[in-house]
Structure 1
Amino acid sequence: MKKVVSDVVQFRGSHYDFGLYQGELLIDSPILDARKELWSRSAHRHLIVDVEKVKSIIQHFSPGIWEEITGLADALKMDEETALRNFGGYYFEYGQSGCSILMGNSFMIRNYDSDPITYEGRYVVYAPSDGGYATIGPSMQITGRTDGMNEKGLAMGYNFINRLRSNDGFVCNMIGRLVLENCATVDEAVSMLKELPHRISFSYCLVDATGKQLVVEASASEVVTRSGTICTNHFQSLTKENRNRMDDSLNRYEAIDRKQSSIQTPYDAFQLLNDPEHEVFSHKYGAWAGTIHTAAYLPSKQQAWIAFGGKRLPLILDFDKWRNGQDFPVKLIKGELEATNGFINR
């Protein structure tokens, strides 16, 4: 068993100040050095970033996030291109990961599956003072989110589909952040997802405070929506984008589908994804498909749950109280994984 720790990052203020704050935390953190090491092994390490193009797109959709990137760059003494490579969400080396999502009219439960060697171990709670909604959820690439919820009750999670037929565009983590910070409802999120440029194929699962739920299938060339409460790692509409081998994705989908009718409460749904006995939680960490966290979002209650490892009780956070000025007393979230690697924050 590998013990893991996620830091809880809490901040209220402008995007630029939030960027400075995060940059100061990163100065003594191993996260950026670990990313450089992973990047050095990547076949895309010489990727050229069109700074002005990416900058203009980010500023169009969310000027505050550009200010956050600027704050990070200033704190870390980076030039714009280096900052965009690290924090711009226009490129990220994404492995062939798993992930499973189950939605109901009052919840979204999400298993984030990957290799811990890429996981930042940062659970971020942020309320901007210069525009945009307050958000809560784990970070990816510092500025992005793996999943999360905002103050309006919109919850979002995504599942990897395929990286073939990619194009210029944002990757999942920045897309998730843009949606959460700027959209109040499922309908608004769908509109943004149809306008954003997508680099590779992902499903985006959405639930809002009204109980509306929807799956958005997005590739570099097309974005469509479908109804449904279960999502793993294959498209049901844009099937031409699917990987050739989908056995693992189909097995997890069927495991959830078999037991979905017995769910009475959000905690029942959480256990279905978090308890390995139900065959959804995965220990395939070396194949980029082991479950790192199980997260739950309850939009109408403004609750966020998180657990690292299987068969664990979730930490339950009251986001409404936090938005009203009451900081979470927890600074670290601990867990255990049956994995070789730990998170890159330690």
Structure 2
Amino acid sequence: MYWRAISEQQPGAKWSGLFDEYWPHYKRWWEREGDSARPSYLESRRALETHMPEIVPLYDELCELAGGGDQAARFLSFYCPPPYLAGCSQAIWTGKEPVLVRNYDYNPKAFDSLILHTGWQGRRVMGTSDGLWGMVDGCNDAGLSISLTFGGRRVVGTGFGVPLILRYVLQTCETTEQAGRVLARVPTHMSYNVTVLDAKRQYLTAMMAPDRPAVITHAAVATNHQENVEWVSHARFTATVERERFLLQRLTLHRDPEETFIGAFLKPPLYSTAFDAGFGTLYTAVYRPRLQEMEIRWPGTVWSFSMDNFNEGSRKVTIPGAA
């Protein structure tokens, strides 16, 4: 896989170039159920104005940079996108310097492979991109870190793709408490578990769903089910219960040192090579919110980033089992 790290303080030529590069692939995905299956531009923008009004000016700016087209604007709203599934494990190591660690298990052919560092709307954010302004994990300059996992339910409803919800949290929140309020009110189109850790060591996991209120918990671990396993075949295939138990044991019974705990994400049962089924581990991310630092790890490789001293670059990474 070819990864890039890109920094652009305000939306401009770099982001526009990325959009031109990625849009043909995203357009095919967006249209896979037919154009009429997606909400209109007016519906999409009204939903943003209702639920995420603070980032509407940023949305408008990105739409203009993307060429101002109807389909591009609807895609960038992330409102009622096509359904998609991922694996993923995430946990908070609650040591002296707490860290948020996650594995992202997904199809390598449907992934941005991009670390974005932005200063949009006066808020610095860095993290792993999805949809060119959404995030699957990230942190901001207030020391707030966030990550998502699929919630293991088939229900699809009316709401936003969760990567944009994570971007919204990072753009507008500074504490776990503030993030919890956002995650409780913004509608999601599918079920996701979102874990948040702030600079004051406070954390939560929000179990979001399109058909019922979000459940805000003090869980330090999230895999691919919520309070109960509802999609049994998916749970068995992804070993979500086994991964959750493994992480809970590492946090409570073993009390691993930080590096040992992080290292466990790069080995079975957390590390997956099921790429033929679309659930292989693409990377492990490590966030240190108080230091405003992040790492992207692969077996034998660590790529480090700092909010204050972010270095652009690229990496070609060979992932075991990935085509």
TM surpasses 0.5? yes
1:100 counterpart = 2:89: yes
Structure 1 residues 44 and 163 mapped into 2: Cα distance closer, same or farther (>3 Å)?
farther
1:198 counterpart = 2:198: no
Quote the residue 1:317 is aligned against: 305
3-state SS of paired residue (1:84): helix
1:125 counterpart = 2:103: no
The answer on whether the counterparts of 1:166 and 1:199 sit within 8 Å (CA) in structure 2 is: yes
Quote the residue 2:241 is aligned against: 250
3-state SS of paired residue (1:301): coil
Partner of residue 331 from structure 1, selected from 313, 316, 319: 313
The answer on whether the counterparts of 1:20 and 1:72 sit within 8 Å (CA) in structure 2 is: no
CA distance in 2, matches of 1:37, 1:56: 24
The answer on whether the counterparts of 1:305 and 1:314 sit within 8 Å (CA) in structure 2 is: yes
Quote the residue 1:259 is aligned against: 250
The answer on whether the counterparts of 2:44 and 2:74 sit within 8 Å (CA) in structure 1 is: no
CA distance in 2, matches of 1:39, 1:11: 26
CA distance in 1, matches of 2:315, 2:74: 28
Q: Deviations over 1:118-156 (max 9, x none)?
A: 10111001112x34x311101101110011111111111
Give how far 1:26 is off.
3.1
Structure 1 residues 149 and 213 mapped into 2: Cα distance closer, same or farther (>3 Å)?
same
Partner of residue 228 from structure 1, selected from 219, 222, 242: 219
Give how far 1:67 is off.
3.4
1:69 counterpart = 2:51: no
Partner of residue 290 from structure 2, selected from 294, 300, 323: 300
Alignment of 1:1-346 (within 5 A): 4-13=1-10, 18=11, 21-27=14-20, 29=21, 31-40=22-31, 42-43=32-33, 45-63=35-53, 65-79=55-69, 81-105=70-94, 106-128=98-120, 130-131=121-122, 133-162=123-152, 164-220=154-210, 221-236=212-227, 239=228, 242-245=230-233, 246-247=235-236, 248-260=239-251, 261-274=253-266, 276=267, 278-307=268-297, 309=298, 311-319=299-307, 321-322=308-309, 327-328=310-311, 330-341=312-323
The answer on whether the counterparts of 1:104 and 1:213 sit within 8 Å (CA) in structure 2 is: no
Quote the residue 1:344 is aligned against: none
Q: Deviations over 1:319-345 (max 9, x none)?
A: 2x23xxxx41x411332223454xxxx
CA distance in 1, matches of 2:17, 2:60: 13
Give how far 1:182 is off.
0.8
The answer on whether the counterparts of 2:38 and 2:81 sit within 8 Å (CA) in structure 1 is: no
Instruction: Give 1:179's aligned amino acid.
Output: V
Instruction: Give 1:200's aligned amino acid.
Output: M
3-state SS of paired residue (2:301): coil
Q: Deviations over 1:297-333 (max 9, x none)?
A: 01112111112x4x233212222x23xxxx41x4113
Note the residue ranges of structure 2 that are not aligned, 5 or more in a row.
none
The answer on whether the counterparts of 2:30 and 2:75 sit within 8 Å (CA) in structure 1 is: no
Q: Deviations over 1:28-63 (max 9, x none)?
A: x2x2222234445x3355323232232133245545
Structure 1 residues 45 and 178 mapped into 2: Cα distance closer, same or farther (>3 Å)?
same
Structure 1 residues 96 and 63 mapped into 2: Cα distance closer, same or farther (>3 Å)?
closer
Q: Percent identity between the aligned chains?
A: 19
CA distance in 2, matches of 1:67, 1:163: 33
Q: Deviations over 1:91-116 (max 9, x none)?
A: 33343321000112311001011110
Aligned length: 315
The answer on whether the counterparts of 2:130 and 2:136 sit within 8 Å (CA) in structure 1 is: yes
Structure 1 residues 95 and 25 mapped into 2: Cα distance closer, same or farther (>3 Å)?
closer
Give how far 1:258 is off.
3.2
CA distance in 2, matches of 1:25, 1:283: 28
CA distance in 1, matches of 2:289, 2:313: 23
The answer on whether the counterparts of 1:283 and 1:338 sit within 8 Å (CA) in structure 2 is: yes
3-state SS of paired residue (1:35): helix
The answer on whether the counterparts of 2:286 and 2:296 sit within 8 Å (CA) in structure 1 is: yes
Note the residue ranges of structure 1 that are not aligned, 5 or more in a row.
342-346
